[in-house]
Structure 1
């Protein structure tokens, strides 16, 4: 095979991104921030977080604007549990308002890996200018040193159900062939270089890949329907083509995803659906979040719909299986884990204070001289964030094992007084393997 055919599956998926290379029009980033901080708009249209799908499909904004907009929206929708950039349309929830998923990754990592919620700018991209955070680089909150406080948390231990993805049971040629047929991909499944593949790998037609990972994650793309894969008109002076086509409705995208789930034998009634897009887009994404015990699981199916059909899709092909009841620590003990380095408290949603700082950030002014020498006896700067926890919620979060398998285990989400959220695993020490080998 040639080099393109041997690329990492994630790299191939990014290469199929319909928004790759798209630049926003002048003033777009400012409008994103303005809309995200408009209280009336927030009340009228709740927004949702896309995690990896958001990072993979959004236009290539300038880093500073993207970072500021991301913080604004994440802080504005803490109660909802999701944050995205510019949206047109609210959530389409068809599973009776399940609780948002909990991630055991940090806010900056969860989205990127989901599997980044948010890009991480360099020190030249964004500098905070608030009086108490002068010179600190975004994000100043959530990492480093934190002093946690709380009162009134329950001290009762308990048990909660845990689950796992059965990837091996679904990793068959027949399962992959059925998915390929549902997506309209022609060919026989081939197991090559650690993944199932169906269809041409040279961009001449729809293709499907299924990774042999813990969720049996699949990716699909049809370059023929990609409105961003168009030719630049000769002598136009343009550096990139202008995608064309009518933007599908939110309901059309959700219906297409429901149909795909049903065609693979899944019950769409067990999923909660969301959809978002950005101004000027000609494709509509939709996400389907599996709901277990009234909680969204942080492994969503996602599609990108153009007016001519489905451009791309991805998801976890493995089914969830029950692993029985696991012992769970109390809210108080889980709170104490926030300060325990073995558990590493993870911030998953930025608070409103950080959002506001991002909006009021001033332009960086280059220095004309270095700072003065420290005076004798100068105190050593050692900033510590005071974090007051006001609410605890027991839910579910994915946890990847060393062998690549994936558990969905009990986890706590703590909300602080500023609207930020923190996550920590809820499973008792007796069922945690602390070994490093």
Structure 2
């Protein structure tokens, strides 16, 4: 970031005002009032439907305005608006990308209580999952190895930022479950069993939904009757067939899925993807809060016969008020503090693009064991040098000890190789470090 980028946010906004320094000519205001009065008297002034106008305009301007407003509150922290890429979107002009505080092997719906067998191919959770473990991961910068962080020019200004939470108890159960089942065409009466509300057959012979009593009321839907992976009776292996739906069909299915829960699709951004050889297409609905995508994407899987499966969250998101936020510099120092366990949530660009110079070479079987170290040889202790080049304040979900889920300010730090590291931004005096 340049020195100009680190100016006070209000000063930057004023500098970007195209009307800055422009003064109206004499009698300009009187002329405007006269024209407006004449139009109203003549009965020609159009009457706007404010409700529909706000609904139409909100996806385009509200997230961006919310980010600008939060900058004025927080002060000198850095930020960025990332353009959405890949597939169709909700015309929200690109909310900032999600930030995750979860470890790669514990992120996603299975931690929230959703049975793995009920889950669709969750692209939202998969975005932040990376393999770790073994000796190699201890020296790879994208693993859980030892890292030495460096940075310069980070802001030392702290401030406040708005926090949120999922309010699971605000949803009227089982009425909401029955309404969801009806909207998705699932037959049956809601039944509370083993800590979840279920509707429909749970043996894989008919459409069903499953609603967990967790902090987000996570739920899943499946329709095995149209799944291309459902084999005929007596058949253990079958070849899936079908035409891959188009992007718009998948997006429309995701929108309808959101609407079925009573949520407003205008509060989401939508993306879609498929893969070579697939017979289905996935679509993701990303909740957008204060101009930030959350790291809890809803997902649907669509085939040529319709909606095969889906996953989402029934609970509403409510405000918790302003929380104190540490500066970029203090958050950077947390990357080296074992209490905060910084997560690499995005791999370096070269790795994502398959750079042969970065990806581990092909394994060659050994022909003899390694030689013993010579006396006095140094002990190998690899440390990765990670240079932080950018900081962005956003939001990330965090599961609490009592099972509730908060959406709290968090920083995303980008390193020189394009990797992203995340750490919570809430100040120490608002963090409960107790282990019970």
TM-score, length-scaled by structure 1: 0.72
Cα distance in 1 between the residues matched to 2:84 and 2:421: 12
Preserved CA contact (<8 Å) 1:94 1:271: no
* Alignment partner of 2:261 out of 261, 264, 269: 264
- Distance change >3 Å, CA 210–CA 358, structure 1 → 2: farther
The residue that corresponds to 1:326 in the other structure is 323
1:343-378 deviation digits (Å, cap 9, x = unpaired): 111111111354525775433222122111111110
Alpha-carbon contact 2:84-2:94 (below 8 Å) kept: no
C-alpha distance in structure 2 between counterparts of 1:324 and 1:310, whole Å: 38
Map of 2:306 onto structure 1 = 309
Matched-pair contact (CA < 8 Å) for 2:88–2:272: yes
Which segment drifts farther, 89-98 or 269-278?
A: 89-98
Say if 2:140 is the partner of 1:140. yes
Aligned counterpart, 1:222: 223
Q: Larger Rg: 1 or 2?
A: 2
Residue 231 of structure 1: aligned partner: 232
Partner of 2:274: 277
Q: Which residue of 2 aligns with 1:414?
A: 413
RMSD: 2.4
State the Cα distance separating 1:285 from its structure 2 match: 1.1
Structure 2 unaligned segments of length 5 or more: list them: 1-81, 112-123
User: What TM-score comes out, normalization by structure 2 length?
Assistant: 0.72
Give the whole-Å Cα distance in 1 for the aligned partners of 2:84 and 2:382: 28
For the structure 1 residues 189 and 232, does the alpha-carbon distance in structure 2 shift closer, same or farther, using more than 3 Å as the test?
A: closer
Structure 2 CA distance, aligned partners of 1:374 and 1:305? 57
Match of 1:132 in 2: none
8 Å Cα contact 2:216-2:405 kept in structure 1? yes
- 1:321-360 to structure 2, matched below 5 A, reads 321-354=318-351, 355-357=354-356
**Alpha-carbon distance, 1:335 to partner:** 0.5
The reply to whether residue 429 of structure 1 matches residue 428 of structure 2 is yes
Aligned to 2:190: 189
| Residue correspondence of structure 1 range 119-268 to structure 2 within 5 A | 120=131, 136-137=136-137, 140-142=140-142, 143-170=144-171, 172-231=173-232, 240-268=237-265
State the alpha-carbon separation in 1 of the partners of residues 355 and 137 from structure 2: 15
Aligned residue among 285, 288, 296 for 2:285: 288
The count of corresponding residues between Structure 1 and Structure 2 is 338
Secondary structure, counterpart of 2:355 in structure 1: helix
Partner SS state of residue 154, structure 1: coil
2:101 aligned residue: 104
Cross-structure match for 2:385? 386
CA distance in 2 between partners of 1:406 and 1:219 (Å): 18
Q: 1:118 to 1:261 in 2, by over 3 A?
A: closer
Distance 1:358 1:275, change over 3 A: farther
Change (3 A) 1:121 1:330: closer
Against the structure 1 CA distance between its residues 269 and 149, is the aligned structure 2 distance closer, same or farther, given a 3 Å change threshold? same
Matched-pair contact (CA < 8 Å) for 1:233–1:241: no
Does the 8 Å contact 1:171/1:212 carry over to 2? no
**CA 1:428–1:361: 2 relative to 1, 3 Å:** closer
Comparing 107-116 and 250-259, the one that deviates more: 107-116
| 1:292-320 superposed Cα distances (whole Å, 9 cap, x missing partner) | 01000111221111111111111111010
Distance 1:395 1:81 in 2: 16
Deviation for aligned residue 1:138: 8.1
Q: By how many angstroms is 1:230 displaced?
A: 2.9
Could you tell me which runs of 5 or more consecutive residues in structure 1 were left unpaired when the two chains were aligned: 1-78, 83-88, 124-134
In structure 2, how many angstroms separate the alpha carbons of the residues matched to 1:91 and 1:371? Answer: 53
